Structure 1
Amino acid sequence: MAQVHFLTHPEVAIDPATPIPDWPLSARGLERSRAMLAQPWVAGIGAMFSSTERKACDMAAILAGHLGLGFTQVAALGENDRSATGYLPPAEFEATADAFFARPEESVRGWERAVDAQARIVAAVRSVLAQAPPGDVAIIAHGGVGALLLCHIKGVTISREEDQPGVGGGNVFRFTRVGWGLVKGWRRL
């Protein structure tokens, strides 16, 4: 049965002076993206879609180059809109992200509401799967919207409990293309 591999970009080069969507992968993020290519499931991917944010496109380009495929950029696969605050120091970011998930019906500090980001990512995934050829699909995006998508797939309330593990991103979960049944939860790349 065909699967969807929802990947989150790994570590980025954080620059508070640069808009967050323009941050590239760091040297460690590039290294982890290349190491992912050895995973056995990678060979089965027949179509790829990516957020338009640079960090996701950097990862998608590595995977696409390895597979000899192109990838389609889709703005609706982007991370929850945090432009109201821009860069936040790590502790402040984590506290704000906690509030984002805890109060999904509210705009926390001007961020996109979690319920709206969830509706957007679910609709975007439905759209890309409708246009993808048969077979396995890779979607390269972000941890926050990945957690929201996973909540939807599992039929649970929006919660940070479904957020990706570890620090720095670079995770994957898989679900069936038909019926959206969870095959495997978050795993580090």
Structure 2
Amino acid sequence: MQALYLTHPQVKLDAAVPVPLWGLSPEGRARAERFARRGVVPKGSMIFSSRETKAQELAELIAASADTLTLADHAMGENDRSATGFLPPALFEDMADRFFAQPDISAAGWERAVDAQRRIVSAVTTALASVPEGAVTVFCGHGAVGTLLKCHIGGRRISREEDQSCIGAVGGGNGFVFDLARRQLLTDWTPMEEIGPNWHESPKLAEPAVLL
């Protein structure tokens, strides 16, 4: 069964607000709204989401367009970085490099990459087991755990080089298509603007998108 893992686009950074409560920025919300309007996700699809605000905002926009509901799971959340709290962008990037470079070691108290990978793989596996045969499935989540999921499915080592920041659009809002049961990674990170309407019918992301 093919599914789409989609990351939230740009968020509002606010050092005074816990990171899981950050919402989409105006730019990020505009991108999410355009994606939802294009009808890339068919009516009645199964939409799963992290419980973090930014991912749920993306999921709710898509679900409204697809006339369906969202199913949120805390286990689909981003890697736990609460030990350090908010970090300035440059320092955050250094920590993210450490997170991917040493997956078996906690970077300054962050959740280890190997643990986050087991968590997201288990959550996605459980979710897919509940999906009716033939239903189109979309997961709305985050860059780091999405990368860890992608590495597991594709049989790739955990590496920052697999992250959306190195492959997809800057700022998030990227997706990849996969078949977990067959352990097939059908696409790599692709900007949401380039995901066509037939992604769930073919191993390739469909025809070029028409932006609205």
Q: TM-score, normalised by structure 2?
A: 0.85
Q: Percent same amino acid at aligned positions?
A: 48
Matched, 1:153 2:156: no
Q: How does 1:75-154 map to 2 (within 5 A)?
A: 75-134=74-133, 135-154=135-154
**Which residue in 2 is equivalent to 1:187?**
190
Look up the equivalent residue of 1:174 and give its one-letter code.
Answer: V
Per the alignment, residue 10 of structure 1 pairs with: 9
Partners of 1:114 and 1:126 lie apart in 2 by 18
Q: Is the 8 A contact 1:80 1:117 kept in 2?
A: yes
Distance 1:178 1:25 in 2: 32
The answer for the alignment partner of 2:52 in structure 1 is 53
Structure 2: which amino acid aligns with 1:108?
A
Structure with the greater relative contact order (CA < 8 A, sep ≥ 6): 1 or 2? 1
CA positional deviation for 1:143: 0.2
Aligned-CA RMSD value? 1.4
Deviation of the 1:133 alpha carbon? 2.0
What TM-score do you get using the length of structure 1 for normalisation?
A: 0.95
Instruction: State the 1:67 CA deviation.
Output: 0.5
**Which runs of structure 1 show a deviation greater than 2 angstroms over 4 or more consecutive aligned residues?**
37-41
Shift of 1:183: 1.5
Q: CA deviation at 1:91?
A: 0.6
Structure 2 distance, partners of 1:153, 1:139, is 15
Alpha-carbon displacement from aligned partner over 1:161-181 (angstroms, at most 9, x marks no partner): 110123211000001254131
Partner deviation per Cα, 1:117-150 (whole Å, 9 max, x = no partner):
0000000010000112222200000000011011
Q: Unaligned 5+ residue runs, structure 1?
A: none
Aligned residues: 188
Change (3 A) 1:117 1:177: closer
Q: Which runs of 5+ in 2 are unaligned?
A: 193-212
Q: Which residue of 2 aligns with 1:175?
A: 178
CA distance in 1, matches of 2:39, 2:2: 14
Per-residue CA shift, 1:24-45, capped at 9, x if unaligned? 1111111000111255642266
Whether the aligned pair in 2 keeps the contact of 1:46 and 1:133 (CA below 8 Å) is no
Could you say what secondary structure the match of 1:184 adopts? coil
